[in-house]
Amino acid sequence: MFAIGESNPLQYFAQLYADPDPQREPFSHGRQMNCHYTSRNTLPDGEWANLVEIKNTGTDMSSTASQMPRAVGLALASKLFREVNELKQFKHLSNNGNEVCFCTIGDASTSEGHFWEAVNAAGVLQVPLVIFVWDDGYGISVPREYQTTKGSISKALKGFEKEEGTNGFYIAALKGWDYMSMVEVFNEGISLARKPIHPLSFTLKS
């Protein structure tokens, strides 16, 4: 968030010390723990901001994996903007559904029910969602082998993998310490997610 100019050290410490001042702590006004960022999607008068021109971040929440159903919803919104003609007029909310939702989660948090509901729904709906599991081998002090079947979330997800003629999704295992190769895989994954796929079609009924 510092690198993309969406936060700064003053805001970081304001959130850490639960500062209620919205100028210093714009993300949650002191209500959340540190590193819970979000971007404002409305203007002071309550109207929608121009979401196409800003970097949009949906806030994390303290219950691990609770971001997952919201990530599916955001990705589904993008798909709807792509496919539903009646939504094309809202040019300030979406660039014709070209957005990809990039969502991150810790390895231990993949044990939560929300995670499994979300990956199943994403595999069926074929929405532009990229899920990045930060696998550091621990959930606080619990080692991965006591937390995840086969000690590997990519192995455990194998049955969800996309095959010729099926839905599902692509799975890639990366080296977390090799930043440049991660960037390459992210680029590839995001391009794949952005490709139009139409296994389900949506129509807006009044």
Ligand X SMILES: Cc1ncc(C[n+]2csc(CCOP(=O)(O)OP(=O)(O)O)c2C)c(N)n1
103 makes contact with ligand X (CB under 6 A) = no
136 makes contact with ligand X (CB under 6 A) = yes
Find which of ligand X, Mg ion, none residue 64 binds, CB within 5 to 8 Å per kind: ligand X
60 makes contact with ligand X (CB under 6 A) = no
* Least distance to ligand X, CB of residue 119, Å: 15
* Least distance to Mg ion, CB of residue 139, Å: 5
Find which of Mg ion, ligand X, none residue 145 binds, CB within 5 to 8 Å per kind: none
Determine contact, residues 91/74, Cβ cutoff 8 Å.
Answer: no
Find which of Mg ion, ligand X, none residue 63 binds, CB within 5 to 8 Å per kind: ligand X
3-class secondary structure, 48: strand
* Least distance to ligand X, CB of residue 202, Å: 32
Find which of Mg ion, ligand X, none residue 184 binds, CB within 5 to 8 Å per kind: none
* Least distance to ligand X, CB of residue 61, Å: 9
How many chain residues interact with ligand X (CB under 6 A)? 12
- List contacts with ligand X (CB under 6 A): 62-64, 106-109, 134, 136, 138-140
- List contacts with Mg ion (CB under 5 A): 106-108, 136, 138
